[in-house]
Structure 1
Amino acid sequence: MGMTYRRYLAGARVYGCSNCRTHLSTINSMISKAFHGQHGRAYLFEEVVNVIEGEPVDRQMTTGNHTVRDIECVKCHVILGWKYDFAYDSDQKYKEGKYILERNLLVDVQ
């Protein structure tokens, strides 16, 4: 197995993994700060890079049933949040294909 290729992001504000500072997303990709993760506040992002997606699982959340995949940092393997694959409720469809990152697991890297 070779070295893992990581993307580096540029912009006014870049969010990275708090453990290893690997770039994950930018402020321009952020959709909302009004989410809750497993460990407190979380952000919803349109695009996230440098993560490994786990297997899809159905989870009952406060907003209904969703099919999600845990996402982990490609470098240090800390679980950072999840990706929404499918929302069973029609009013939650906007989350499909989007990512949740836990606020306490992010740092500003620029």
Structure 2
Amino acid sequence: MQFTNNLLALLTLLPLTLAAPESQLEAKFESGVSILGTAVVTTYSGDACNGSNEQVTVTNGGYRCFAVSNKRSIGYSGSGCTVTTWSGNNCRGSSFVATRAGCYSVLYGSVSIQC
């Protein structure tokens, strides 16, 4: 009888014992996840981030190079990324780097985003 009671007590504690390491593992995993960066870039036809526009988003270590036409300003929001405008349509030529989030009036043929 005593053996049966002890066995039942152990069996009821077993799920609690097994669950503890899993919850600790989840907490460690969640705290180890980091976001590298996010950039939301909007290209505009007007000089002051106005007029017709197109938007591109890059996150977490991504890279994108895209050509534009008839664009005169660029808006950047986010952090942890490098946004560069280029005179050529293939992310080459003369460049301008947006050093912080904001609106920039600049002529360009392509944009590269590195997060």
TM-score, normalised to structure 2, is 0.23
TM-score, normalised to structure 1, is 0.24
Counting strand residues as a fraction of each chain, which structure ranks higher? Answer: 1
Larger Rg over CA atoms? 2
